[in-house]
Homo-oligomer: A and B are copies of this chain.
């Protein structure tokens, strides 16, 4: 019964268990069970829990591709690309994102894992700066712009973990961008 389970399947199990249980409760036993392999095999293949998490996050984030190589003349289109990406991320991995953000402050091992999503953010910064220079966006630290753009989306996604009854539908990226640019005044 040595049916080999691919790394990808194991990584998927890691993220699923973390999303459901949190990092501390995502025990190696639970992960092994979810992946359908033996706990000892987990350590023989991935060395440690930290390394396993790092590889799982890396695999997930490289799987997500964000294409914003060539920012152009259309702010709305470029922001929509960014918002759509994060909308998908929070929809599929909201629990993981929430857990990692919470854990990052006191767990260096989690913080180091977040270096890769961070590098993605730097590319987002450049797109925002590009449009600021074009005079299409308010000039401010690009990270502030990013938080203002994506914050509503993130909060709505996180709120669904607490608030069962309201706002079950995910936000529409196009509407988010439009409101971001034009404001909420009627």
Q: How many copies does the complex hold?
A: 2
Find A152's partner among B138, B141, B147, B166 (CB 8 Å cutoff). Answer: B147
Give Cα A136 to B186, complex, Å.
Answer: 6
Q: Which segment, of A17-25, A36-44, A50-58, faces chain B?
A: A17-25
Question: A145 an interface residue at 8 Å Cβ cutoff?
Answer: yes
- 0/1 string, A154-171, CB within 8 A of B gives 1: 111011011100110001
CB distance from A65 to the nearest CB of B (A): 21
Q: Which residue on chain B has the smallest CB distance to residue A128?
A: B184
Q: Which residue on chain B has the smallest CB distance to residue A145?
A: B184
Main secondary structure on A side of the interface with B: helix
Instruction: For A183, list chain B residues within 8 Å (CB).
Output: 179-183
Instruction: For A185, list chain B residues within 8 Å (CB).
Output: 136-138, 181-182
Query: Given that A152-B148, A186-B139 are contacting pairs, would A161 and B105 also be in contact in the complex, using a CB cutoff of 8 Å?
Result: yes
Q: Which residue on chain B has the smallest CB distance to residue A19?
A: B105
- Quick check: A147 and B159 within 8 Å, CB to CB? yes
